[in-house]
Amino acid sequence: MSTPLLVFDDVVCGYGDTMMLRGLAGAVGTGRVLAVLGRNGVGKTTLMRALSGFLPLQRGRVMLAGRDLARVPPQQRLAAGMAYAPQEGVVFGDLSVRENLWLHLRSRDGQRYGACLEAFPRLAERMQQSAGLLSGGERKLLSFTRTLGLRAPLSILDEPTEGVQPENIERMARLVRARKAEGASFVIVEQNLEFLLSVADDVLAIDHGECSLAGPASELTRETLEAHLVV
């Protein structure tokens, strides 16, 4: 792996007295994608929330570009170089598509979203529409577009293709690969193996809050990965 951009080590966290993650560790190199997979309820989203700062660590550390993020609140992690697209609550439904894209930005440089809006023309056509009226898949595309448009060194995507049409999933993969080529890194939780295998460099599988498999994606067979997605 190239020099790690993100390192997390001995991560322990959860909800109340229930610890969902038990000493999880991993790293993401510059210009690489770490795919996180596992069955439902094993701690994948918990890890995403811990990395993004929305869930405090009981133990462990998260380092981004050598900086300890323990005292950096979620709303300041974008400035530190991290963008986050959660699995749920991905858009502001009462706002228009345009407002969802620009509300959090001071500069309205149209090139920021150019590649994504070209890839997803239906989204471009609905700029004035309330985001709450979009389909579930369209809301995912809006969240994906907003996150990639931030052009953060590291983007954390939790189930980005959920409900998205196959042709748009292929376009999402192309956009992720293009950002990788520019040096951007990603942590992606995903159940769609076709999408994951088309973008992933490294894999971390979780079971019962612990690492059950880790290694380069090129060295792991599809059958091996599928085994970590079934009960």
Distance CA 109, CA 45 (A): 32
The predicted pLDDT at position 2 comes to 59
How much of the chain exceeds pLDDT 90, in percent? 87
What do you get for the CA distance between the two ends of the chain, in Å? 30
The predicted pLDDT at position 231 comes to 57
What average pLDDT does the chain have? 93
| Spatial CA neighbour of 151 closest among 175, 130, 118, 134 | 175
Model confidence pLDDT, tens digit, residues 42-84: 999 999 999 999 999 999 999 999 999 988 999 899 999 999 9
**135 pLDDT exceeds 90?**
yes
Strands (DSSP E) along 167-221, which ranges?
185-189, 202-207, 210-216
- Phi and psi at residue 177, to the nearest 5°: -65, -35
Model confidence pLDDT, tens digit, residues 186-223: 999 999 999 999 999 999 999 999 999 999 999 999 99
Model confidence pLDDT, tens digit, residues 100-130: 998 877 777 668 899 999 999 999 999 999 9
The predicted pLDDT at position 97 comes to 95
The predicted pLDDT at position 170 comes to 97
Distance CA 152, CA 176 (A): 12
Structural domains of the chain in order of their starting residue, each with its CATH number: 4-90+151-227 (3.40.50.300)
Read off the pLDDT of each residue in 2-13 and give the average, rounded to a whole number: 91
Task: Give 3-state DSSP helix, strand, coil % of the chain, rounded to 5.
Answer: 35, 30, 35
DSSP 8-class letter at 191? S
The predicted pLDDT at position 167 comes to 96
Model confidence pLDDT, tens digit, residues 25-45: 999 999 999 999 999 999 999
> Which tokens belong to 54?
């929305």
